[in-house]
């Protein structure tokens, strides 16, 4: 793998014990035997080293906070490329407790960028932003030039990190590339997000709390397609640029819910209409022409990806049962749904 025309031998992955980060590490570990991976993760409720079981050799782990300048500085020193996945990521949690979102998703990004500025070796910083930075769009698609108009404390803090990363390119010439992926799904996603939450609830014959009328729409991108997009950006992304990663697989939440129930052979009566999320974005939709021009395209259609994902959760009951038995999960359910 090359970045900036030179071979990459060491990648620092922040948030590598989370959902997308762990999928990234698994895939890079398998496909690129010449690359060493350093996983830097605080292990919040969303970080889980079991996501990386079986990843051995050419891999190391440091437990650390991206807000810690000293530890970040030491970790970054040996890296050619940094991919920043570390973040607080759940919109509902940001509505109840926004503080950590500002600290990690804005201040943490600042600490990483400062360390990157001082590193003699690092030559690319891939910052993982989100499609939520644009806010909601009733019709049509957002391009990378669309105004940023975030709705939740989560998406507003992601705008902070996204634009801070850009400012380090513009002001200091730091080689920063920004990825803005759509809603991800797939294996190892913490069971608070719509798809794993509803799959694991349905498997336990528990009600599925659907916000509002279930008409809100999301574009569903399989995590393996996100990983291939980030690899494309490491090799071909232009510093200073942001790139949309959409799937073109838009569904209403009601459609997703019905598809899950049908795959599991569970009754529609499990659907429970609940009060809407505050500030709930109606629809996200991205124009991904800029990524496609680099040769990337998503390969997994939603029907196939959802079938595989539902099967994964069925087969990995031990994995998710441990998580839902923890306080962090139960407290979230209580705060958000009761």
Question: What residue spans of 209-315 are helical by DSSP H?
Answer: 223-236, 253-264, 289-292, 302-315
CA 64/CA 71 separation, integer angstroms: 7
Selected from 11, 44, 125, 200, the binder of ligand NAD by CB under 6 A is: 44
CA 145/CA 36 separation, integer angstroms: 35
> Is residue 233 a contact point for ligand NAD (CB under 6 A)?
no
CB 250 within 8 A of CB 285: yes
> Is residue 89 a contact point for ligand NAD (CB under 6 A)?
yes
Selected from 87, 91, 124, 137, the binder of ligand NAD by CB under 6 A is: 87
By CB under 6 A, how many residues form the interface with ligand DAU? 19
CA 42/CA 31 separation, integer angstroms: 26
Which of these segments, 4-12, 83-91, 144-152, 328-336, binds ligand NAD (CB under 6 A)? 83-91
> Is residue 224 a contact point for ligand DAU (CB under 6 A)?
no
Nearer to ligand DAU, 36 or 132 (CB): 132
Instruction: Let me know if 69 is exposed, middle or buried by CB neighbors in 10 A (0-12, 13-18, 19+).
Output: middle
Q: How far is the CB of 10 from ligand DAU (least distance, A)?
A: 27
Nearest CA among 151, 159, 158, 193 for reference residue 279: 151
Task: Considering only residues 249 through 278, tell me which ones interact with ligand DAU, judged by CB under 6 A.
Answer: 253, 277
Task: Considering only residues 103 through 142, tell me which ones interact with ligand NAD, judged by CB under 6 A.
Answer: 104, 108, 128, 130
Burial string for 260-286 (b: 16+ CB within 10 Å, else e) reads: bbebbebeeebbeeeeebeeebebbbb
Q: Is 287 a residue of the active site?
A: no
Nearer to ligand DAU, 42 or 218 (CB): 218
Q: Is 154 a residue of the active site?
A: yes
- The token pair that represents 299 in the structure block: 């390969």
Selected from 193, 222, 266, 332, the binder of ligand DAU by CB under 6 A is: 193
- The token pair that represents 87 in the structure block: 């973040």
3-class SS of residue 170:
helix
Interface with ligand DAU (CB under 6 A): 89-91, 130-132, 182-183, 193-194, 197, 209-211, 216, 218, 253, 277, 284
- Catalytically annotated residues: 131-132, 154
């Amino acid at each position: 793998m090359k970045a900036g025309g030179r071979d990459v031998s060491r990648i620092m992955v922040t948030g590598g014990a989370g959902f997308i980060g762990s999928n990234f590490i698994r895939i890079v570990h398998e496909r690129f035997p010449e690359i060493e991976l350093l996983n830097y993760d605080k292990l919040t409720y969303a970080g889980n080293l079991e996501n990386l079981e079986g990843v051995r050799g050419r891999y190391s782990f440091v437990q650390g906070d991206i807000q810690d300048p000293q530890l970040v500085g030491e970790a970054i020193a040996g890296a050619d490329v940094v991919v920043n996945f570390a973040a607080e990521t759940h919109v509902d949690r940001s509505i109840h407790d926004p503080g950590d979102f500002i600290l990690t998703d804005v201040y943490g990004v600042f600490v990483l960028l400062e360390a990157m500025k001082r590193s003699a070796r690092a030559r690319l910083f891939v910052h993982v932003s989100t499609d939520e930075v644009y806010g909601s769009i009733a019709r049509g698609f957002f391009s990378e030039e669309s105004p940023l108009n975030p709705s939740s404390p989560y998406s507003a803090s992601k705008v902070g990190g996204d634009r801070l990363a850009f400012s380090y390119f513009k002001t200091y010439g730091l080689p920063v590339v920004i990825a803005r992926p759509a809603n991800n799904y797939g294996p190892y996603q913490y069971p608070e997000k719509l798809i794993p939450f509803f799959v694991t609830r349905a498997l336990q014959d528990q009600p599925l709390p659907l916000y509002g009328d279930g008409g809100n729409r999301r574009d569903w991108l399989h995590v393996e397609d996100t990983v291939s997009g980030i690899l494309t950006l490491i090799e071909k992304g232009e510093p200073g640029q942001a790139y949309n990663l959409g799937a073109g697989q838009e569904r209403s939440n009601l459609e997703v819910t019905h598809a899950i129930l049908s795959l599991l052979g569970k009754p529609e009566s499990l659907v429970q209409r609940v009060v809407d999320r505050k500030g709930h974005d109606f629809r996200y939709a991205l124009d991904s022409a800029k990524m496609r021009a680099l040769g990337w395209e998503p390969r997994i259609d939603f029907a196939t990806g959802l079938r595989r994902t539902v099967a994964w959760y069925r087969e990995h009951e031990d994995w998710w049962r441990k998580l839902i038995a923890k306080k962090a999960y139960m407290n979230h359910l209580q705060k958000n749904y009761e």
